[in-house]
Homo-oligomer: A and B are copies of this chain.
Amino acid sequence: MSLLSDLLNLNLSDTTEKVIAEYIWIGGSGMDLRSKARTLNGPVSDPSKLPKWNYDGSSTNQAPGEDSEVILYPQAIFKDPFRRGNNILVMCDAYTPAGEPIPTNKRHAAAKIFSHPDVLAEEPWYGIEQEYTLLQRDVKWPIGWPLGGYPGPQGPYYCGIGGDKAFGRDVVDSHYKACLYAGVNISGINGEVMPGQWEFQVGPAVGISAGDELWVARYILERITEIAGIVLSFDPKPIHGDWNGAGAHTNYSTKSTRSDGGYEVIKKAIEKLGLKHKEHIAAYGEGNERRLTGRHETADINTFLWGVANRGASIRVGRDTEKAGKGYFEDRRPASNMDPYVVTSMIAETTIIWKP
């Protein structure tokens, strides 16, 4: 297949000014990513200079057949790690031809919240810990797991190494470099407690860019699993029983929490989140009740509690934040299949804008 590789890796910069732009959007389930590519006349690095585009919404459950055009508005540009050169990935959100955000477009409302003057003043930072599970393609059983059976119990796999403990590292490591190349602010990776499960972190990112970067990181990950012949799952509890679920812990801070006296601001913020626990939980991902059981390093879905260094709590405050008297906190409730536009903006809204 080396001739195919040669073609895939062709560096067109010497032959043409043209550039390929892959437009990415979120499909009708709110979790499926879609993309298609178009040729542009030259390199572009500013999303406002990119043309709007459109797609067949009737094929993604986002428009009726007789009025199927959905318009794509480019919102963020990243370098394309697959095509490299001057080629780009473009994260978009979706609108009706009349200019209204379609129902699955959660970015629009998030952008409104993040441009609220109170929120802007607080400069909210996010660090999102995206967990995910890799599955063998045709059987949808986690990679490294024996077919028809189970691996040895959890214990050796968290940050583990070795052919009997870490499955799929090639996917994880190529994703890390691909994201750095693309310009996604990926801050780390680790093997998770359940074998075949991994985590990457994006952040710190400010405001709406956290959501953009996480979605593009998810896109890059699924493109890489496609190359590897493996299936990607963001299901929050992929395997029933004594196996950890998958979450998207969201670390959060504002200007005030990062400044002197920030610890008090943090406690007030956590209090507000506690008062809106049910609303947040409803928006924190489908199927989360299978994951938030109170076991496997989670807090029960109906309980709101917080603690320092407590991984069994809804909200965890790190020891260094406690010691420094300022810093950030971790909302451990979101599931791996959460929409980061929803979660990040809701946390900002509840803690900054909302008066109880």
Contact = CB atoms under 8 A, between A and B. Distances in A.
B222 A181 contact: no
A188 B146 CA distance: 37
A162 B79 CA distance: 20
B226 A163 contact: yes
A137 B162 CA distance: 10
Interface in A1-37: 1-10, 12, 15-16, 18, 20, 27, 32-37
B68 A311 contact: yes
Contact of A97 (B154, B186, B312, B319): B319
B164 A231 contact: yes
Given A161-B219, A163-B229, A232-B162, A178 B10 contact: yes
A23 to B, nearest CB: 9
Interface residues of A: mostly helix, strand, loop or mixed?
A: mixed
Contact of A181 (B10, B54, B158, B170): B10
Interface string A132-171: 0000011000000010000000111011111111100111
B225 A176 contact: no
Interface string A317-328: 011000100000
Contact of A177 (B8, B171, B226): B8
Contacts of A171: 4
A120 interface: no
A61 B176 contact: no
A166 B227 CA distance: 10
B5 A3 contact: yes
A155 B4 contact: no
A81 interface: yes
A83 B20 CA distance: 23
A59 interface: yes
A162 B220 CA distance: 10
Nearest to A63: B309
Would you list the 9 A-B pairs with minimal beta carbon distance, nearest first?
A: A36-B190, A7-B174, A34-B159, A59-B158, A38-B188, A97-B319, A10-B177, A69-B309, A162-B222
